[in-house]
Amino acid sequence: MADPMKIRAQMKGEIADIRVLMSHPMDTGQVKDAKTGQIIPAHFIQQVNVSVGGKVVVEGQIGAAVSRNPVFGFKVKGAKAGDKVVVSWTDNKGDKRSDETVIA
Amino acid sequence: MKRILLLCAAGAAVAAFPAVAKDAATAEFEKFRDVLEADNPAELFEMKGEELWKTKRGPNNASLEKCDLGLGPGVVKGAYVQMPRYFADVGKVMDAERRIVYCMVSLQGFKAEDIARQPFSSQTHTPDQTAIVTYVAGQSRNMKFAVPMNRPEMRETYEIGKEIAAFRAGPYDFACNSCHGEDGKRIRMQELSNISTHEGASKSVQGWPGYRMTGGVMLTLQWRMTDCFRQQRFPEPKYLSDTITALITYMSANAQGSLYKGPGIKR
């Protein structure tokens, strides 16, 4: 099981500001291990979903060009304090992780 | 070989460039860092470190919640900015990472040799103590450096650190102070801080442990000091040696009173 994400969600006026830190190696599959000379197999997040208050607001496809331990930020209209935010990802090896928080 | 040549060039650059006012490149990088500091991946390592701190692990199946970082067993809040300090139980001055590893060995039963085998982060591996140091450092966020210098052992260690910083040796006849002993020096794009001043030392201890964006690895002040010796072509100090603790003591004491902003983000 992958390490947990860190999610911050805050109302800024009318807009909810959601920021997510994910813990993931995001290996591109094009880098060799310096010691063994073997290619490090590709291992990256492919799908990122965000829902606010039970409603899906982001369905994103991302790829190997995104950095290790990536940071994402979303601004969502129509949310309110107390809404539940659920962020989940799936990577190319089928690993999944889902974390949630409440908008402050 | 290419790397070595490059570093030689870097060494030469220190001598060649006179004092430069804060240049555009540095200002741009600072803007970049300001944006990223709000979402620093170092926080992921803080979370990991907290879990490692609280989980029962190792041959003794113990957590680190009995580990005394100087403020009593298990007290983490504010401990980082009050280290290095003299620990009477071992009769030694220890910095944060050294003390944490000491606890991992004495409380949890890990073997010091095993920990020392690969003590610093690589792209594929982050040692447990690195995450724990990051957690402990995060618990001193926005507190002021208050290294307890009232002990004679601390003052002695400080003086040793000062000596080491000034000690010239190695194939390039280099010392820490060759780069970090006076104001206005730089290597390529990097402005160098003068660790003998309050301001410079504050800049140097600030932001460690730090998340390095190049490669995405979490690194500690212990690593930074060891790397300085590598850059000077000194023999590499042993992991958690007295030398490194003395240097960290020297810098932290010079930074006394400045605000610690927590684990940082590096280029």
- B227: CATH: 1.10.760.10
d(CA B229, CA B234): 5
Amino acid at A4: P
Q: Which two tokens stand for residue B87?
A: 């620990």
Q: Which residue has the higher pLDDT, A3 or A89?
A: A89
Strands of A15-21's sheet in order across = A6-12, A15-21, A71-77
Tens digits of residue pLDDT in A17-54: 999 999 999 999 998 888 889 999 999 999 999 999 99
A53 domain-assigned: yes
pLDDT at B16: 42
Residue B5: predicted pLDDT = 42
In a domain, A83, yes or no: yes
When divided into structural domains, chain B yields a total of 1
Q: Answer whether residue A40 is part of any domain.
A: yes
Within a domain: A39: yes
- Let me know if B228 is a catalytic residue: yes
Please report, for the domain that includes residue A20, its CATH number.
Answer: 2.60.40.10
Enumerate the H helices of chain B as residue ranges.
Answer: 2-16, 24-37, 42-54, 96-106, 112-117, 128-138, 152-166, 176-180, 198-205, 221-231, 242-254
- Among candidates B252, B242, B253, which has minimal Cα distance to B160? B242
B236: which 2 tokens? Answer: 């590499």
Is A1 domain-assigned?
no
- Tokens representing B7 are 């570093």
Residues of B in contact with A4 (CB under 8 A): 47
Of residues A81 and B190, more confidence is placed in A81
Contacts of B213 in chain A (CB under 8 A): 67
Catalytic, out of B67, B103, B176, B228: B228
CB atoms within 10 A of CB A71: 18
Whether the link from the prior residue into B41 is cis, omega within 30° of 0, is no
Q: Which residue of B has its CA nearest to A20?
A: B39
The label of the residue with tokens 């003390």 reads: B99
Task: Give domain status of residue A60, yes or no.
Answer: yes
On whether the CB atoms of residues B206 and B140 are closer than 8 A, the answer is: no
pLDDT classification of A1: cutoffs 50, 70, 90: low
Query: B42: closest CA among B266, B203, B264?
Result: B264
What is the C-alpha to C-alpha distance for residues B50 and B138, in angstroms, rounded to an integer? Answer: 10
What's the structural domain count of chain A? Answer: 1
- Residue A48: inside a domain, yes or no? yes
Below-50 pLDDT ranges, chain B: 1-20
Cβ pair A46, A40 in contact under 8 A = no
DSSP structure string for B177-194: HHHHSSTT-EETTEE---
Q: What is the mean pLDDT of chain A?
A: 91
Tell me which residue range forms the domain holding B126. 2-266
The pTM score is 0.83
Q: Which residue has the higher pLDDT, A87 or B191?
A: A87
Q: Does B20 or A4 have the greater pLDDT score?
A: A4
**Boundaries of domain holding A70:** 6-102
Q: Do A21 and B41 touch (CB under 8 A)?
A: yes
